[in-house]
Amino acid sequence: MIDKFLKLIKSLVFRIHVLKGVCLILFLVVVFRLYAIQVTYSADYQAYIDRTSTIELQKNVPRGVIYDRNMDVLVDNEAVSTITYQRYSDVSESEMKEIASQLADLIDVDFTKLTSRDLKDLYLEKFEDEAKELYTKEEAKTLEDKELYQLQLSRITDKMLEQLTDHDKETHAIYINMKKGTNLTSNIIKKGATEDEVAIVSEHLEEMPGVNTEVDWDRTYPSVAEWHPIYGRVSTYEQGLPATLSSYYKAHDYQSNDRVGLSQLELYYEPLLRGYKSQYVLTNENETSNYDAIYEGQRGYELVLTIDAELQAAVNQIVKEELINAKKNSSTTQYLREAYIVMTNPNTGEILAMTGNIIEWDEEAKDYKIIDNSLGTFQNSFTVGSVVKGASLLTGFKYGDSWPGKTITDTKMYFKGGLIKGSWKNLGGVDDIAALKFSSNVYFFQQTISMGGSSYSPYMTLNLDLDAFEKYRSTFNEFGLGVNTGIDLPNESTGLIESQRTPGKLLDFAIGQADLYTPMQLVQYASTIATSGKRFAPTLVKEVYLPSNDDVSGKQLVKGFTPNLLNVVELDQTYFNRVHQGFVAALQQSGGTGYSVFAKAKYNPAGKTGTAEEYARDEEGKYIKDANGELIDVNNRTLIAYAPADNPEVAISVVVPQCELPSQSHPISLQIGERAMQAYFDLKKERANIQNNTVETDELTVPADEQVSADDSN
């Protein structure tokens, strides 16, 4: 028997059958194992894979710091302790709710932002039995689930909601935040967590997968100029990406809850300020999460603005004081509401300061309050009056209808049909320089009639070639009036073109009573006059640096902005010289329209004043009428200026809309302009003195290795 068995197992056929059997058994084992993995325990293995996989994550970094031209910090970041939740696809809603409940035991969360709908949903979840009693059996049979749900919501009363505890509400608020964003997105649960909250949450991190403690940031404005509208705003975590630009940002690797610039510089320079997110590898194994940094990230690039923070603060205060003083101490300023000023370097276009303020009566405080409207310097346009006469004169020179030394007699002008035109008074004989000094309207009316193909005679029919509009506007455009200035900010206004094309309106155009211009356009025009025809784009960003904590000498320059010369006004220097002389006379010579305020200025100013006739409007832009139903006449006051006249380094424009009644003038535009100019030169002198004292101190300091004691010197 045994011999037969031994003989059998030695046979080749038997061995082949045994091998087949073994193979079949092994094959069945593999099949059953695969079936168990892919079918029976598929979900468990998938969860295990998810938890033991390696995932690349990104985390936000602080935005770039913004400095003024002297490297004083304008916009910075303040660290804020934050508790976050990293959402994973394999975590169920019940698990998330359990984590939310645990967190609610550890931290205080503001639940006041929960909506009525949020609270009602929470009630339906917490009180299922009571929720079923909110509809009848008949309603349950006839209504669909969505309809029943809406019916339940409508029948939940405020008294029912009182059954929800604060813990319930905190848990729900946390849960809602946990669900924001997509998978693997870091969602903020609480911003501004206390040290105790951070500590206790850190102790329980292993019990709450996905929860972490991090440091977020908030924008701060530590300079003397404080917050300025040109900086713009950054979205909150709750706001995330603006809906209108969401697709664009997501295509550039943004997450839906990322914080981005919403306006002005924060928006315009978003690609530079955002920085580069830090990148981590997250390894999940045995319910333990390990973070390994593969790129530490880089905070946003640092911007250096052209703004002078100290000058900006001084100008802010000047405008505020002048507005309040004018409202409190003058009877002619009852319709005064706002004032604007822009200061630039005319040789580069660098904006040194820009301010716009609105003054309103605060009924509660029983005093005036100031509202910042600095964006109005380039977004709001006004009738500016005689400040444009420099450009008007140069237009006349260009087309040969005026010339250096041309003299006319300034007296009332009478036209057929009863139209009367004139200056603010009969000035008598005036040449081109005197026309600017005394602000003669008649000089420019007669020039315009010549440009229109005629010459003035009393009671003439005013029949002019209206192509003169294009002659004026094309020249004005070369100075920046009526066109984009090129400023590096969004939403700039180009002003408003007068739609009427009549001979009378053509005369008005020459004295600034037709088209509307912004204060930014005016300062570009003033700068172009100051430089004898060089028109530079106004700019706010001077330099871009790599982020670092070094002082300016140790920072690495990424980009330095060179002056952007937009165009050169090709006119003879003799023509510009005549305008310069007229502008100097207007501010420095007795009888000049700005002499009363600028007479004692030591910085050699040149400029042109303006008065524009308007009808009073309220804060909504609606016309105001008197007791008889008549529109109320008011004047805008304007000023352009630069200094020193022989070598300009600063240019300004001032616009104060409806600041006075025609019966009584007010010098507020001159006072703002002169005080701002004085502040500029005072700061310059003060800094020069500090620099000189520093140099003298350095020269007197004896190097340490050369110092000897009193004993050694004997």
Q: Which residue has the tokens 């505020």?
A: 320
Render pLDDT for 585-601 as a digit per residue (tens, 0 to 9). 999 999 999 999 999 99
Count how many residues are written for the chain.
714
Characterize 531-543 residue by residue with b for buried, 16 or more Cβ atoms within 10 angstroms of its Cβ, and e for exposed.
bbbbbbbbbbbbb
Verify cis geometry, omega within 30 degrees of 0, for the bond prior to 563.
no
Which positions ≥6 away from 532 have C-beta within 8 Å? 573, 576, 580
Lowest mean pLDDT among 83-97, 155-169, 311-325, 328-342: 83-97
Asked if residue 520 and residue 373 are part of one domain, the reply reads: yes
* 480 occurs within a structural domain: yes
d(CA 519, CA 637): 12
Render pLDDT for 189-232 as a digit per residue (tens, 0 to 9). 888 888 888 889 888 888 888 888 888 889 999 999 999 999 99
* 710 occurs within a structural domain: no
Render pLDDT for 55-92 as a digit per residue (tens, 0 to 9). 666 777 899 999 999 999 999 999 888 888 887 767 78
pLDDT of residue 554: 82
* 4 occurs within a structural domain: no
Asked if residue 493 and residue 345 are part of one domain, the reply reads: yes
Total of domains in the chain? 2
* 700 occurs within a structural domain: no
Mean pLDDT (the chain, rounded): 89
* 467 occurs within a structural domain: yes
Last residue within a domain, chosen from 147, 178, 209? 178
Over residues 608-630, mean pLDDT:
93
**CB atoms closer than 10 angstroms to residue 488:** 18
Residues 611, 384 contacting (CB under 8 angstroms): no
Alpha-helical regions (H) of 127-258: 128-132, 137-142, 145-155, 158-161, 166-178, 195-203, 246-251
pLDDT of residue 714: 34
For residue 531, give both structure tokens: 């430089």
For residue 502, give both structure tokens: 């009549």
Query: Is pLDDT at 436 greater than 90 in this prediction?
Result: yes
**CB atoms closer than 10 angstroms to residue 250:** 13
Closest CA to 394 of 335, 476, 494: 476
- What CATH number corresponds to the domain at position 477? 3.40.710.10
Q: Letter for the amino acid at 570?
A: E
β 302-305/66-67 pair status:
parallel
Render pLDDT for 363-372 as a digit per residue (tens, 0 to 9). 999 999 999 9
Alpha-helical regions (H) of 204-279: 246-251, 264-268, 270-273
* 183 occurs within a structural domain: no
Last residue within a domain, chosen from 149, 178, 207? 178
Domain that holds residue 494: 311-555+569-691
Last residue within a domain, chosen from 178, 198, 225? 178
First to last CA, the chain: 126
Is residue 386 annotated as a catalytic residue, yes or no? yes
Render pLDDT for 124-150 as a digit per residue (tens, 0 to 9). 888 888 888 888 888 888 888 888 889
For residue 58, give both structure tokens: 């990104």
Asked if residue 490 and residue 345 are part of one domain, the reply reads: yes
pLDDT tier for residue 183 given thresholds of 50, 70 and 90: low
* Catalytic hit among 386, 402, 440, 450: 386
Query: Is pLDDT at 280 greater than 50 in this prediction?
Result: yes
Asked if residue 619 and residue 473 are part of one domain, the reply reads: yes
For residue 329, give both structure tokens: 């101490």
Which positions ≥6 away from 266 have C-beta within 8 Å? 63, 231, 232, 233, 234, 273
Give the rounded distance of the alpha carbon of 354 from its chain centre: 13
Query: Is pLDDT at 270 greater than 50 in this prediction?
Result: yes
* 58 occurs within a structural domain: no
What is the DSSP track for 379-430?
H--B--GGGGHHHHHHHHHHHTSS-TT--EEE--EEBTTS-EE--SS--EEE
d(CA 275, CA 81): 20
- What CATH number corresponds to the domain at position 133? 1.10.10.1230
Question: Is this structure's pTM higher than 0.95?
Answer: no
* 107 occurs within a structural domain: yes
